[in-house]
Structure 1
Amino acid sequence: MENFKLACVVTMCMALMYAQNGGAVSCVQVSNSLAPCLLYLQNGGVVSPSCCYGVKGLVNAAKTIVDRRVTCDCLKSAATSIKGINVDYAAALPEKCGTNIPYKISPSINCARYTCII
């Protein structure tokens, strides 16, 4: 268990350094990719093709552990900070777009659980 915690701390530090130094995925990219999803995330209904394009683009961009961690942390932050987001709609978004991520988007997700691999 101690090795797991250490690996997660190291991964988190790498993620922060990577994001600050122009990593492949940034919170700006996550926000821009999901901007077309805002109407759905707040009101439900039909998910637009441009929203799904953004979701799939993020899934494809997050290839490394660091990218997945940055993406997860950004999604968690957005789910917490953007007013009116329905967490059930957010959790259903990847499936509605025909893609898969190993966690449900929510303000309470433990990103380390899904991105730290030993």
Structure 2
Amino acid sequence: MNTATSTSFFLFLFSSMLFLQSSHAAVSCSVVAMKAIPCVAFVTGKQPKPAPGCCSGLQQLAHGAVTVVDRRAICQCLESGVKAFPGVQDRLLSQIPSFCGIKIGFPVSLNTNCNKIN
């Protein structure tokens, strides 16, 4: 897939996950998608480190995840998107918090159970 196709596919996946959001969540899946798109090249192994837009977008999401409902909803949007996106490497996905200086309190993985996030 080329970059434009990847970006469009990623946006489609995230925007189609809106039903996962609780009405109390501060962030919609479409916003999560826009914040996470710059991370695609890194988590698929096409870039050696996350782009600045990746880190800033995910930092904004982390700061906006005030409640458990918010954190779980954002996690579910990301989880659904990355699992449906071919080429995402779990080892690269798990490196994003340290690369971006984000403390989220749970491991980032393709196997993260969003329902267990507090």
Q: TM-score range by the shorter chain?
A: 0.7 to 0.9
For structure 2, which runs of at least 5 residues remain unmatched after alignment? 1-19
**Which structure's residues are more often helix, by fraction?**
1
Cα distance, 1:75–1:105 mapped onto 2, change above 3 Å: farther
Residue deviations 1:34-69, cap 9 Å, x none?
Answer: 101110110151221111101101101111111011
- Runs of at least 4 residues off by over 3 Å: none
For structure 1, which runs of at least 5 residues remain unmatched after alignment? 1-14
TM-score, normalised by the number of residues in structure 2:
0.74
Cα distance, 1:99–1:60 mapped onto 2, change above 3 Å: same
Residue deviations 1:6-39, cap 9 Å, x none?
Answer: xxxxxxxxx74416xxx31121111110101110
- What is the RMSD of the two structures over their aligned residues, measured on CA atoms? 1.7
Structure having the higher Rg: 1
The aligned runs of 1:18-97 (5 Å cut-off) are 18=23, 23-43=25-45, 44-97=47-100
TM-score, normalised by the number of residues in structure 1:
0.74
Q: Give distance in 2, aligned partners of 1:49 and 1:108.
A: 25
Q: Relative CO higher for 1 or 2, CA cutoff 8 Å, sep ≥ 6?
A: 1
Identical aligned residues as a percent: 31
CA contact (8 A) 2:29 2:74 kept: yes
